[in-house]
Structure formats: C-alpha cells, structure tokens
C-alpha cells in the first residue's frame, strides 16, 4: 500500500517498507530546484560571457553574475544528491542532502539573529559593500544596472550621502580628474518628473560642487542605507513572509529526507534480521 516490500519477513510484525509517496515526492521536490539551479547557472554564465575581457577580471566579489553562479552551483550539487539519493535509496547521498540543508538553514537563522542583535555592525558591513559597489560602478554593466535600479526605486543617492560618488574615479571631484563626469552623480540619482518622456542622462552633471540645499533641487541627497533601513522597518511582515517562504521548502526537504533515511535503515535491519534467522534457525 503506497510502498514496496523488501525481503521475506517471517511474520507480519516484521513487515516494513519504503514509502513510494515519500520517495517520489522527495525526488520531485529536488528535481524542481535542480532545474532552477541549472537556469541560475546558465544565466550567470551567459552574463559573464557577454562582458568584455577586462570586465571579467573586475572585482568578482560584487559581480551579480558570479553570485548567481555560486548560488546556482551550490543548489545544483545539493539537489543532485537529493535526486539521486531518493531514486537509488542511497543513505549516504540522502544524509549529505539532509545535512547540507540543515547547515544552510542554521546559517540563515544565525545570520538573521546576528543581523538583528548586531545591527550596527551589519549596517557597517552593508555600507562597506555599497561603497565597494560605487567604486566599481563603471566596471560591470550588471552592477551598474543594479545600483541604478536601487537608487531610482528608493529615491536615494550613494551610500550615506550623494557625495559618496566621489569615491568613483569617474565622478571624483579632484582637480586633476579628466573625466567629463567629474563631480557628477549617475542619472539614477536625479529627481525626474513622471510626465517627462525623455530622461536627461546628464542631469547629475556637477551637482557635487553645489551646496546641499541647491543639490537637493536636482537630485536625491539622502543615502540609500537610511532608505533601505526605513523600508525594512516598514515591511517587516513582508520580509517575514519571504523568510518563511524560504524556510518551509528547506524544512520540508529535511523532513522528507530524514523519513526516507529511517525507512531505508529499517529495511536494511529487517533484511539482516531475516538473513540471520534463515541461516541460523536455532538462534
């Protein structure tokens, strides 16, 4: 009934089986995420190949394509263990899958707790990452598009303030900077009316030379970190739902794999018991 009997038990009390429902449900669960992992890796590889050779050597730590590939490869390996382990009823692969998911889940939980408890330290790390991204803004088209999207979406400019863009070699305000974008900011910092059909991409020209209030007439002067923190505080329920949505599949995978592992172990014990008693009927 929904399972496959193994061995030849001597009585009904010895009956044990591996549930086909659990086995194939775990396989389908892993197969779905295995396909997603393949798509992620493919997109990441394609994005890297479309870039220039010099861009491929630029700061890999802030490259969205690299992060996508790393996450995709990790997911591919874990779900591959789950797929093959469930089909072949291989305890070693299933345990690898189960332990990997458990470690990832615990790391996410610890990261969330540490981020909440040490919010100032987390804020400092985020600031460091954003400043690093600003420095490499022109080095990577994917990173550039990501920053522009964030600044336009949150209505902000730079990390702490709009003058952070002076850290970039193209937007630096030094007198010896030959760039035409000297002392400017990206167009994504600009306050753009919704009724404008054509965006002036040079609207941030020279705004770092202006006084704060004067610059505020043309661009968003508030940094993106404060905007991001405010958005997080205003969307705690949404973020909680997303966190729960990420946690549930992991917990389901852990539960199904552990159930299947226990059933396989019971089968092995039953087979060993029957084999022993058939070979030694007086024991």
Q: Which of 258, 232, 243 is nearest to 105 (CA)?
A: 243
**pTM of the entire predicted model:** 0.67
> Do 167 and 135 form a contact (C-beta atoms < 8 A)?
yes
Given a cut of 70, is residue 1 above it in pLDDT? no
| Yes or no: domain 122-224 corresponds to CATH 1.10.1450 | yes
Exposed, middle or buried: residue 214 (CB in 10 Å: 0-12, 13-18, 19+)?
A: exposed
Per-residue DSSP letter, 228: H
Mean pLDDT of 250-277: 87
State how far the Cα of 40 lies from the Cα of 44, in Å rounded to an integer.
6
Q: Which of 19, 68, 24, 61 is nearest to 45 (CA)?
A: 68
pLDDT for 276 equals: 76
Which tokens in the block code for residue 133?
Answer: 């991204």
The residue that leads in pLDDT, 66 or 221, is 221
Helix (H, G, I), strand (E, B) or coil at 224: helix
- What residue spans define the domains of the chain? 3-118+236-279, 122-224
pLDDT for 167 equals: 93
- Tell me the pLDDT tens digit for each residue of 186-215: 999 998 876 665 667 788 889 998 888 899
Which tokens in the block code for residue 20?
Answer: 């086909």
pLDDT for 60 equals: 45
| Spatial CB neighbours of 168, under 8 Å, sequence gap ≥ 6 | 134, 135, 137, 138
Other beta carbons less than 10 A from residue 98's beta carbon: 22
* Sign of CA pseudo-dihedral 23, 24, 27, 33: negative
pLDDT over 90 percentage in the chain: 37
164: pLDDT confidence band, cut at 50, 70 and 90? very high
- Tell me the pLDDT tens digit for each residue of 9-32: 444 444 456 788 888 999 999 999
Q: Tokens 């739902």, residue? A: 241
């Amino acid at each position: 009934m929904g399972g496959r009997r193994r061995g030849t038990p001597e009585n009904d009390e010895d009956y044990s089986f591996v549930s086909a429902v659990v086995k194939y449900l775990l396989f389908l669960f892993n197969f779905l995420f295995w396909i997603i992992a393949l798509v992620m890796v493919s997109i990441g590889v394609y994005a890297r190949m479309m870039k220039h050779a010099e861009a491929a050597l630029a700061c890999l730590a802030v490259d969205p394509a690299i992060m996508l590939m790393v996450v995709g490869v990790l997911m591919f390996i874990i779900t591959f263990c789950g797929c093959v382990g469930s089909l072949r009823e291989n305890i070693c692969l299933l345990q690898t899958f189960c332990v990997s998911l458990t470690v990832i889940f615990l790391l996410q939980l610890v990261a969330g707790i540490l981020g909440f408890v040490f919010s100032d330290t987390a804020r400092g790390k985020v600031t460091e990452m954003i400043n690093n991204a600003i420095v490499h803004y022109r080095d990577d088209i994917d990173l550039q598009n990501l920053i522009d999207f964030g600044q336009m979406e949150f209505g902000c400019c730079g990390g702490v303030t709009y003058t952070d863009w002076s850290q970039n070699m193209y937007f630096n305000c030094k007198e010896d900077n030959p760039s035409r974008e000297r002392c400017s900011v990206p167009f994504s910092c600009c306050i753009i009316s919704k009724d404008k059909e054509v965006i002036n991409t040079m609207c941030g020209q020279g705004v770092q030379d202006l006084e704060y209030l004067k610059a505020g007439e043309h661009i968003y002067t508030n940094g993106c970190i404060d905007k991001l923190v405010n958005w997080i505080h205003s969307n705690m329920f949404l973020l909680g739902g997303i966190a729960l949505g990420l946690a549930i599949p992991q917990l389901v995978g852990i539960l199904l794999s552990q159930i299947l592992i226990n059933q396989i172990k019971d089968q092995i014990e039953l087979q060993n018991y029957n084999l022993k008693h058939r070979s030694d009927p007086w024991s």
